[in-house]
Amino acid sequence: MKAIIPCAGLGTRFLPFTKAVPKELLPVVDTPVIHLIVEEALQAGIQSVVFITARGKSALEDYFDYAPELEFELGSKGKKDLLEQVQRIAGLVETIAVRQKKPLGLGHAVYCARHVVGEGPFAVILGDDLVDAKKSAIGQLIEVHNRTGKSVVALKEVPREDIHKFGIVSVGSHEGTTVEIEGVVEKPSAEKAPSNLAIVGRYVLNQSVMHALKDLEPHGSTGEIQLTDALEIEARTNGLVGCLIEGERFDAGNRLEFVKAVFAYAIKRPDVGEPLIEFLRERLKNL
């Protein structure tokens, strides 16, 4: 199975940084967000990823490529560990880049990969969405897909005040962490929302979703083709399943959530974790 990783958004919430650098390269300590996402895909057995890119995003491809000049320098200076690290990243995964020439929405970004994902089911992982989990989040969805054969989306409970930011599902029957989805509403008000279960950036989709995307019209207000509309059709026609994923999710395209993600990952690292916790304890004492 291939994973589509949409990275073609404008990243306006992270300006001015995103004026020159893709937000997917924001460093979680020293590791770009996109690297953590690719590791998650690898853990789930996915070996080929399709980046949906745009102008100014070519550094994403460079990151996963060999860098002969750098490797030569590291080698000649005897920096063996660093050399191995950069070479390992280049050999991690097969990458395919597809350009989304206009930012016409997430649905359109996914549709841009139609010629490269093949005939079977495919995964989608948003390039700015981190899930810190014991078991790969996309792997959790693949298990549900293998069991049900249906398109699967990741779900998380969200607080009432955040409901208007997400696609929210109405649910039918449920079994453990797997729920049957009856419908999807994009960004409803808390009063009108059918639940507090939000679709978060992980999907395993059947080709029927690609077919639904083909016929979708852009939304009048935004001019975007929304993936949620295709998911709503999938729920009504072929069936759509939700998987309540285990793990802590961070929207790395949001400033505060990105900073929280950096702390969450950093405090677990053997090199910086303990001194960072010590520093935070001291700081908090003085607040």
What residues line the site for ligand UTP (CB under 6 A)? 6-14, 52, 100, 103-106, 108-109, 126-128, 253
Residue placing its CB nearer to ligand UTP in the complex, 178 or 229: 229
Q: What letter does residue 92 receive in the DSSP assignment?
A: S
C-alpha separations of 85 from 49, 51, 70, 170 in Å:
20, 22, 12, 45
- For 120, list phi and psi in degrees, rounded to 5: -90, -165
Nearer to ligand UTP, 74 or 199 (CB): 199
Cβ proximity to ligand UTP: between 109 and 185 the closer is: 109
Strands 94-99 and 48-53 turn out to be parallel
Nearer to ligand UTP, 14 or 122 (CB): 14
Q: Which is nearer to ligand UTP, 139 or 167 (CB)?
A: 167
Residue 16: DSSP 8-state:
T
Q: Which is nearer to ligand UTP, 7 or 241 (CB)?
A: 7
Among residues 67, 53, 159, the alpha carbon closest in space to that of 98 is found at 53
For 100-247, strand residue ranges (E) read 122-125, 129-132, 151-157, 167-175, 178-186, 197-205, 240-244
CA distances from 172 to 206, 231, 235 (A): 20, 15, 11
Asked whether 216 and 227 are in contact (CB, 8 A), the reply is no
**Consecutive H or E run containing 229:** helix 227-237
In whole angstroms, how close is the CB of 103 to ligand UTP at the nearest point?
4
